[in-house]
Amino acid sequence: MSAHTVKRAVIMAAGEGTRLRPLTLKTPKPLIPVNGTPMIDSCIRALRANGITEIYVVVGYKKELFARLAADYPGLTLIENPWYAAANNISSLYAARDHLEDAIILDGDQIIRDPAALAPDFDRSGYNCVWTEGHTDEWLLTVKNGVVTACSRTGGSCGWQLYSVSRWTAGDSRKLKKHLELEFEVKKNRQIYWDDVALFCHPQKYSLGVRPMEPGAVLEIDSIGDLAAADPGYRYLLEGGIRHG
Report yes or no: 123 and 133 within 8 Å, Cβ to Cβ.
no
User: Domains in the chain and their CATH numbers?
Assistant: 4-238 (3.90.550.10)
For Cα atoms 57, 123, 158, give the angle at the middle one, nearest 5 degrees.
90
The Cα 90–Cα 168 span in angstroms is: 16
Task: Supply angle C-alpha 225, 10, 3, rounded to 5.
Answer: 115
**Residues belonging to the chain:** 245
Mean pLDDT (the chain) is: 95
Those residues whose C-beta lies under 8 Å from the C-beta of residue 84, and which sit 6 or more positions away, are 14, 15, 16, 60, 61, 91, 92
Count of beta carbons in the 10 Å neighbourhood of residue 20: 22
* Residue 115 and residue 50 in contact, taking contact as beta carbons nearer than 8 Å: yes
The DSSP-derived string for 168-218 is: E-HHHHHHHHHHHHIIIIIS---SS-THHIIIIISGGG---EEEE--TTSE
Question: Residue 134 has what DSSP assignment?
Answer: S
How many whole angstroms separate alpha carbon 197 and alpha carbon 137?
Answer: 20
Q: Which pLDDT tens digits describe the chain residue by residue (245 residues)?
A: 779 999 999 999 999 999 999 999 999 999 999 999 999 999 999 999 999 999 999 999 999 999 999 999 999 999 999 999 999 999 999 999 999 999 999 999 999 999 999 999 999 999 999 999 999 999 999 999 999 999 999 999 999 999 999 999 999 999 999 999 999 999 999 999 999 999 999 999 999 999 999 999 999 999 999 999 999 999 999 987 555 33
Which secondary-structure segment (H or E) carries 161? strand 159-168
Give the residue among 36, 5, 216 at the shortest CA–CA distance from 112.
Answer: 216
Q: Is there a contact between 101 and 202 (Cβ–Cβ < 8 Å)? A: no
pLDDT for the residue numbered 242:
53
